[in-house]
Structure 1
Amino acid sequence: MPLARRLTLADAVAIGLGSMIGAGVFSVWGPATAAAGSGLLIALAVAAIVAFCNAMASAQLAAAHPVAGGTYTYARIEIGPWWGFIAGWCFVIGKLASCAAMAMTFAAYAAPAGWEPLVAAGAVAALTTVNCLGVTRTALATRILVVISLLGLAVVVAVGFSSAPDASPTPLPDPTAYGVLQGAGLLFFAFAGYARIATMGEEVVNPAHTIPRAVVLALTGALVVYVLVALVVMTTLGGDVVTSSAPLAEVVEGAGLPALAPVVRVAAAAASLGALLALLTGVGRTTLAMARESDLPRFLRAVHPRWQVPHRAEIAAGLIVVAVVLVADLRGAIGFSSFGVLLYYLIANAAAFRQPASARRHPRALAVVGVLGCLLLVNTLPVVASLIGTGVVLVGVAYRMLRLRLSRRRSDSPEG
């Protein structure tokens, strides 16, 4: 059963913003500044360039292939089934880790000490239920959470630019080329939400027109927000941001307005929930597409007859994320996710490069820059995260090889 086309341009932009303006904007500045130092804005520009190339590749592919599945579907068509499988597998495992990271971040802001894992698991269960009740409810909930997040960020930016600090901020660390690239890799993690728009191609009204516009609008909006927040953090906290776990709350506290800190914490919690909601939605759609092709168990391809969502895929994703948040930590989840996300976009750019001239909306050079950018950033990730990610990708490859071998045996048997 096909999915219903119900999402408008505003819905698609909201889902993209909800994915990008998530927990990263409230927590990424410490580790990114520790890596990039005073080159933080350069790192942000590098991340934005790579994200822009990836966004254009995703939009071009989505316009030509407006069905669920994102790069999993695009790569199957443009490059071949194996590349499609690797892209889809990297997306699913990377975004399941992203879901866990968002849930953990929400709990860190909203839960009493010691209750974080249970609160994170409860948030995942609640938002999985929202997704199972229909995509229009997902879009509405994401809009509400995006508005709350932007209000909180507006408070931080207004306070940061209008207040005069009592003393000069601590100098930022000196930048290095490797540090700037590592900072860009961390910041790219927060930009990656535009893929959620492309993976919902089967549910967007007039996708050939809506998806490219939604991707550009969502990415531009997120970039503006990130530049403003980066400037505030650099000018008010300086080098102290490196050791801060809640830098935006410290901005308002340092301005002599501690009463506004709870507002920022509420916004951070809302941003985490918005990103988690959109991430769960994207994972469910890619899982649906992979199950339709038997690259994941076909049990997961079911679409609910009333709500018209892939409910089994959504529930399976929710259960896995609940398990992860109960046993893993935030740093490990983010590192693992970044590995999968960058490989996913590398294949997306390669698929866009292979498209014929009749389907191409952007120069091939953008896809080349996207491939090189993904390769560059993935090599700045921690070694442990890369090794674990490589191992999980190989497990997926082994699973598909085994399935294909068993399928051939059945077809060759006398009963087959």
Structure 2
Amino acid sequence: MFIKIKSLRSTWKKAIIIFLIIQISPLLVLWISPIRPIVDNSAEYFLGYLLYLSSVVVGFVITFGLLYDRLKNRVNENIVNKSFNRAKLKFNSNIIFGFSTLGLLLMIYDRVFVRGIDYSLGLRNARYQWLYSEISSSIWSKIGNLLIPFGYIGLWFLLVHKNNLSNKQKIQLSIAAFSTIIGHAAINGGRSQVLLGGVLWLSIKIVLIFKHNFNLERSKKIIRKYLPISIGIGFVTILTIEGISESMGIKEYVTDFAPTLLGTVESELMDMWDYFGNVGYVFIFFVMYLFHGQFSFRYLLSISEKSGSAFWGTLLNPIIEIFKYLNLPINSIPKDYFTTQYAMFLSLPGSFYYDGGFVGIILYSLLLGMLYAFVVVKIKFANCVTGYTLAFIFFVLFYIILAPIMTATGFAYFYFIIYSFVALEVINRIRFRKKTNWLI
């Protein structure tokens, strides 16, 4: 009995610690940076954030306790041991590699030969050529968008089933995963694919932490091992895709760009970063751009007139046209609603506030905490984790990890990643006529 209680406490404490680290770390990073919000309403902002954190924790603890009491006696009962054997690993590796590679090639064909995008002028310029092209996307682009997301699943197999993969399969999956994430981002001249790839990697690590009882000390070692690589990729991505002007110093660029993200630069604090040179300024730019959704939240607290829906608008974005057709009163935030159209991100707590005020923060956060508890219990005690289950797990984890930045569904390609896990599960059931346990 004591062991069960200890295991219970260890699991929910670990889950809460992970959640709080994810939510609070960006605030600390912003605090040490020289960037400050243009609206100074700290009391209301921290009240809203405190309501968000505490409500998620309360919803999690209550739900986790109820679910744990029901499921703890089912552990090891009727476990589905039909995991990925050699035949299934070979089949799925070929599917992931073949689909993602073909999708990337089709996307390149659409951009270069159908739309005539000139990439010799740089990725940033190519992005604007694509966005403002009068030529609509071809069937090749649509097929490519359906096939490319399979490459993201390569990360799952590389991290979860690495000990059972052959060298050939590891090479296939590595090419599929990284060419999909980096290659697709380069073709679109965007950033979201790289960010979503990083979030998926972190989500998989969190799943493994809960499933295999990785202690927090081991998690710290993992973070120390991969954080420098992640930061390096982030810097290269920002420098490449944003195309920081060579005619202007990076420090001046950051200062001039801050107001477009509802921020302002504290000159005295900025001068302290001179010691780190351009590396420090790039870091500041990276932090400012990634977490300016916090500034958007503060800005919302200073205005009374709001239109549309921030949370439900993005959640239902794929079927928003259907809602309009049915004359249902729901829309996402107008693009020009803020004082500047460049403030693109709104943190998840901010979207909760946008839709329901402080009461909305409490209610939506309680629901998020309940879903988080369900995910943790599902990972820990489920007898079979299928591709459908993983799609739901990642849906919730993406929301939690991206909360300090923006609503997960604000990234259009998020839905494609979720779809890919569902689609691969369907393909496996058609091929093997039975469900497969993706996580053992």
Larger Rg: 2
More helix, by proportion: 1
TM-score by length of 2: 0.27
